[in-house]
Amino acid sequence: MPEPHPFRVAAETKDLDLMRETLAEDVTFHSPVVFKAYEGLEMTMVILSNVVEIFEDFRYLDEARGDGTLVLRFAARVDDKYEIEGVDYITLDAEGRVTDLTVFMRPQKAVVAFNELMGARLGAAPPA
């Protein structure tokens, strides 16, 4: 198996400096809980820095690589009571930086708990 992508390493180790280095300046983040995408490095880092704090016992279970894509399957706990699973679908540029990150998560109860915690951290009501 090839060496893990630096984004995977950054997420698994909660290394926000490395995570920032893995993202393109114009990265687009597609949240599992809101329809509208978030644009840009700074906003994506705000979101991801909160995510790494909310997820407990975060770990990647599997990965698949394609031509300019990376798919990472993960598991974690939310609020010390919900098990959550998800997939990070990542598009990479020619330098291997993340240009697009789409997150899918399940089950619904865990996603709702995650959404409430993110809303509280970002100082807004959870997105509809």
User: Is residue 66 in a domain?
Assistant: yes
Distances (CA, A) of 120 to 14, 22, 114, 117, 123: 21, 27, 10, 5, 5
User: Is residue 126 in a domain?
Assistant: no
Which residue segment(s) compose the domain that 63 sits in? 6-120
d(CA 82, CA 65): 29
User: Is residue 127 in a domain?
Assistant: no
- Which CATH number do you get for residue 87? 3.10.450.50
All residues at 6 or more sequence positions from 36 whose CB lies less than 8 Å from its CB, including other chains:
none
Query: Domain tally for the chain?
Result: 1
Query: In this predicted model, what pLDDT tens digit does every residue of 59-109 receive, in sequence order?
Result: 999 999 999 999 999 999 998 889 999 999 999 999 999 999 999 998 888
Assign 124 a pLDDT band (cuts: 50, 70, 90).
low
